[in-house]
Amino acid sequence: MPVLWLRTRGAWLREDAAGAFDAAASAGFDSGGGGRTLAAMPLRALTIDFNSYFASVEQQERPELRGKPVGIVPVMAETTGCIAVSIEAKQLGLTRNARVAEARRLVPGIVIVEARPELYISYHRRLVELVESCLHVEKVQSIDEMTCALSGRWAERERAVAAARQMKAKIAREAGPCLRCSVGLAPNWLLAKVASDMEKPDGLVVLEDADIPAGLLGLKPGDIAGIGENMERRLAEHGITTMAQLYAATKAELRGLWRGVRGEQMWRLLHGEDLPFFEQQEGQTIGHGQVLPPEKRNDTAARAVLHRLLQKATLRLRDASQYAGAIHVSVRHADGTRWGEGLELGETQDTLVLTAALNQLWARRPTGAAARRPLHVGVMLLRLLGADAHTPDLFAPERERTRGRLFSAMDTLNRTFGKNSVYFGGAHGATDYAPMRIAFTRIPRPELEEIDASRGRRLRPTK
């Protein structure tokens, strides 16, 4: 079996028979580096991760929930899954996505709470403000995680740790003690994120230059952001199943395994280089899906819900100043079968054009699919294009302008008086569906999707 060597900042480590790495065993090893020592890497990033965020917000708002196992669900139903569980529930072995009935069996006495997305967004905005008052927030990764840049004297360990402690104390004091968070400091954002996961729910971990890679060797490749199940499986197929093997791989090997520059970026980040955040391909699609309640699991109701989802998606499309060049509609049936089909269009943000496309796709469903009970429906707008690159319709420019004014007026009315104050008839009977949801990397805007309270229900709010 070949011996695995790992280069650290000051020496080379050799894997012993038990799989551990021993510096003493490496004495006399010639790395071929001519005695050169790599320059020390400063601390450049601080990541803060709010643990069991949705449940912690509920516990802060409702003192009677504190210290109790809590599960957060999208709707109050025994068949739905927990989108979040409290720290107390995790300590009893419950994990996110567990069905409510299973959660009650595993954790007797668990309190099930219906999610309040607008409340979580409000807390998120306040937390960003509190963190920003201590250190500049460079990137908000999700509703419960953000990263700050460390530069100048803030990159010194003592000052960075003091800032992290100040931040944690300020959050507990001004947002509430239930908003516990773990903080990681490291030479780049990826390693800071890894550090923030090492001591939960209330830790503070520093991964300095000298801790790399030794401080990472207890992890699995899947513990690293950017390595999902499929990538972890691909790594294993090529003999990389441990963190030591991942770290020892060459830059070229990782580039080949990732089939592109992302692999080289991963190698450089794991070795402590400071690189920009991975591009998340945000804004490439806009879409919504909905699990249908039992009373809506029929053709007519499913189609109405699809129209509601489409009207919500086109609202976001216009707000983002984008145009769609394709639409895709999908249905999952109660018997497990699926149907889905797409249609390419001229670039548009016209709800009526997209509605006609949806109706055309719906009419194409095979007879067998139409006879099955729909369980979940979804609509996706694809091939997005920014307004600055949009070419107006050469054959119907006046229609595009007039409809643009119509949609702007409808969007204003809905933001002023609340969603569904005005809507197209295809969604009739389904306006209570497609509620606001918080995705991992997309934080919705209640003032767009629900009601803009700052307008005071005025079409032309006073300044």
When divided into structural domains, the chain yields a total of: 1
C-alpha distances (whole Å) from 35 to each of 11, 148, 401 are 10, 35, 70
Which of 9-23, 130-144, 282-296 is most confident? 130-144
Asked if the structure places residue 431 within a domain, the reply is: yes
Asked if the structure places residue 74 within a domain, the reply is: no
Domain that holds residue 349: 286-455
User: What local confidence, expressed as pLDDT, does residue 147 receive?
Assistant: 95
SS (H, E, C) 336-391: CCEEEEEEEEEEECCHHHHHHHHHHHHHCCCHHHHCCCEEEEEEEEECCEEHHHCC
- Of 200-209, 360-369, 425-434, the least confident: 425-434
* pLDDT surpasses 80 at 162: yes
| Residues β-bridged to residue 7 | 12
User: What local confidence, expressed as pLDDT, does residue 15 receive?
Assistant: 56
* pLDDT surpasses 80 at 30: no
Asked if the structure places residue 192 within a domain, the reply is: no
Which of 80-84, 191-195, 309-313 is most confident? 191-195
The per-residue DSSP string of 111-171 comes to: EEEE--HHHHHHHHHHHHHHHHTTS-EEEEEETTEEEEE--GGGGSHHHHHHHHHHHHHHH
CB 73 within 8 A of CB 114: yes
Dihedral sign from CA coordinates of 286, 292, 296, 299: positive
The per-residue DSSP string of 28-85 comes to: T---SSTT--PPPPPP-EEEEEETTHHHHHHHHH-GGGTTS-EEEESSS-TTSB-SEE
User: What local confidence, expressed as pLDDT, does residue 1 receive?
Assistant: 40
| Mean pLDDT estimate for the chain | 84
* pLDDT surpasses 60 at 341: yes
CATH number of the domain residue 340 falls in? 3.30.1490.100
Asked if the structure places residue 3 within a domain, the reply is: no
Asked if the structure places residue 340 within a domain, the reply is: yes
Please indicate whether residue 230 or residue 169 has the higher confidence score (pLDDT): 169
Asked if the structure places residue 220 within a domain, the reply is: no
Asked if the structure places residue 378 within a domain, the reply is: yes
Report the predicted TM-score, pTM, of the whole model to 2 decimal places: 0.71
Grade residue 34 by pLDDT with cuts at 50, 70 and 90: very low
Grade residue 284 by pLDDT with cuts at 50, 70 and 90: confident
User: What local confidence, expressed as pLDDT, does residue 8 receive?
Assistant: 52
User: What local confidence, expressed as pLDDT, does residue 399 receive?
Assistant: 80
User: What local confidence, expressed as pLDDT, does residue 435 receive?
Assistant: 65
Asked if the structure places residue 421 within a domain, the reply is: yes
92-140 pLDDT tens trace: 999 888 899 999 999 999 999 999 988 999 999 999 999 999 999 999 9
59-105 pLDDT tens trace: 999 999 999 999 999 888 887 889 899 999 999 999 888 899 999 99
Percent pLDDT > 90 in the chain is 51
C-alpha distances (whole Å) from 201 to each of 3, 180, 181, 384 are 37, 7, 6, 39
